[in-house]
Amino acid sequence: MDNKLIKELEYKSLQIRINLITLCNKEVIHIGGDLSICDIMTALWQYKMTYNINDPFDESRDRFVLSKGHASAVTSFNQAAIGCFSTQSVLKEYAKDGGRFSMHSCNLVNPYVEISTGSLGHGFPVACGIAAGLRLKGNKKSRVYTIMGDGEQSEGSIWEAALNAVKYKLGNLIAFVDNNCLEADGTIDEITSLGDIGKKYTSFGWNVVEIDGNNMSEIIDCLDNIPDSNSEIPTIIIAHTIKGKGVSFMENQRRWHAGKISDDQLDEAATELNENFLKRWSNV
């Protein structure tokens, strides 16, 4: 693995985390889930996806659907990082009346959002429909990426879509499960015990990959080796993550599913994030 590339992407992910906690000091955001998928989102938007920032409707683009629509902030900051709009506009407009950036992704005000999401269990089926539509159009190059929460896996609509994705041979569909094992109201096992998610998708006929979703090397290796977009088997990546990853007082804490931090907490979190990055790369 190219250490220079990994360091660069980890630094970009660090900047997204700094933006997230800065916003969290201004507004209530879904900070726990934003932080858990921060590394995956950075890798997708700033490394893997084909996307034309000058034309969000370019037919040759890859599509992205945020099925766990409450992680809108981490999406917006990554889109800002590639030039869709400015980081300052996200910080200024987020959750404000008339702004482009809301607590759940909304394409009515933001053309860089493929589809409005927030009601859990809906984004993944729509992503399957988009993938099927690309097949019908004869588009063999574009992929559809989607990220679900693990709590979403208790929705029946998820499994209906999973069956149909296999039936219609949607190998252009790449789904992630943010498997941080913690919902707003408790652990996954306390709410709806899911068992082995990977085995369930395997039994449905999916190509299943399991990774550490907070390890950039594993994420990049996974993305570099996903099947060709013209393949016939959809891929799901079970990403084992930590809710609140990177900020120790938030990690694995249900309290930080959503919230707002104080000035002191912002300083503490920013110092920790920067120091850990420097420590990781000081001798590499």
Residues in the chain: 284
Q: What is the pTM of this model?
A: 0.96
H or E element that contains 174 = strand 173-179
Q: Are strands 186-187 and 182-183 parallel, antiparallel or unpaired?
A: antiparallel
Residues near 231 by Cβ (< 8 Å), separated by ≥ 6? Answer: 171, 172
Contact 80, 87 (CB under 8 A): yes
Token pair belonging to 272:
């920790």
- Which residues have a Cβ under 8 Å from the Cβ of 228 and sit 6 or more positions away? 171
Hey, is 146 helix, strand or coil?
strand
Domain extents for the chain? 3-281
Asked if 176 and 148 count as a contact pair (C-beta separation under 8 A), the reply is yes
The pLDDT of residue 207: 98
- Residue 13's pLDDT is 98
Residues of the chain with pLDDT under 50: none
Read off the amino acid at residue 186: G
Query: Among 57, 53, 59, 114, which Cα is nearest to 84's?
Result: 53
Sheet bearing 144-149, strands edge to edge: 63-66, 144-149, 173-179, 235-240, 207-212
Task: Write the single-letter amino acid at 254.
Answer: R
Is 117:69 a contact under the CB 8 Å cutoff?
yes
CATH 3.50.50.60 fits 3-281, yes or no: no
pLDDT for the residue numbered 192: 86
* 106 in Cβ contact with 143 (< 8 Å): no
**Residue 111 is encoded by which pair of tokens?**
């053309």
Question: What are the tens digits of pLDDT across the range 180-238?
Answer: 999 888 899 998 888 999 999 999 999 999 999 999 999 999 999 999 999 999 999 99
CA distance 75 to 184: 20
Q: Report which of 222, 188, 229, 282 is spatially closest to residue 39, judged by C-alpha positions.
A: 222
pLDDT of residue 105: 87
Return the bridge partners of 66, or none.
147
Q: What DSSP state is assigned to residue 42?
A: H
